[in-house]
């Protein structure tokens, strides 16, 4: 009788250990998934805010080109835009990405920085009419696009489990 009791206790202990391990694993997996989901939403929010800032800036430029906005008004808005973009760049540093997503976040940040630098050069071109600023602005815009494509590729590779 004693031997059977000991066996039952051992079997129950093993079962409890196995169930506890499964619960702990599922909890850890769920926490990681929630952290990843939160990170993804925060990154998407930053990207959307950058996109909206650029759309608004491009709209102001179009208004200026069409004569619906004075140069002074455009330059005043430009200061606001540059400040907004700088604030967006700072948001990337506040993200807490899972390790495998860190390179894509850095590329998104570089893309946004290149966009900001392009906008600064564009504004300088408007102020000075020096064509070299327009050329530099276009070059930086291309650089921004390339960083963005690299970031998206990196992000999607990790998301698909390829990295």
Give the residue, 31 or 134, on which the prediction is more confident.
134
Rounded-to-integer distance, Cα 146 and Cα 83, Å = 23
Span 96-133, pLDDT tens digits: 898 888 999 999 999 999 999 999 999 999 999 999 99
On the 0-12 / 13-18 / 19+ scale of CB atoms within 10 A, 24 is exposed
Mean pLDDT of the chain: 91
Residue entry with tokens 């064509």? 131
pTM: 0.81
Report whether 49 contacts 112 (CB < 8 A): no
Report whether 62 contacts 90 (CB < 8 A): no
Helix/strand number for the chain, H first, E second: 4, 0
Quickly state the pLDDT bin for 162 (edges 50, 70, 90): low
Q: Which domains does the chain have, with CATH numbers?
A: 32-160 (1.20.120)
């Amino acid at each position: 009788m004693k031997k059977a009791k000991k066996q039952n206790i051992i079997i129950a202990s093993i079962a409890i250990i196995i169930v506890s391990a499964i619960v702990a694993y599922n909890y850890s997996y769920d926490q990681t998934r929630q952290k990843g989901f939160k990170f993804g939403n925060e990154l998407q929010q930053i990207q959307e805010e950058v996109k909206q800032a650029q759309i608004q800036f491009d709209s102001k430029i179009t208004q200026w080109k069409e004569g619906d906005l004075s140069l002074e008004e455009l330059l005043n808005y430009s200061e606001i835009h540059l400040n907004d973009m700088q604030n967006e760049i700072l948001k990337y540093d506040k993200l807490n990405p899972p390790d495998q997503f860190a390179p894509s976040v850095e590329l998104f940040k570089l893309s946004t920085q290149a966009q900001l630098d392009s906008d600064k050069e564009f504004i300088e071109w408007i102020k000075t009419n020096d064509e070299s600023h327009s050329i530099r602005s276009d070059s930086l815009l291309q650089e921004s696009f390339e960083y963005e494509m690299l970031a998206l590729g990196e992000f999607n590779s990790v998301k698909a489990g390829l990295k």
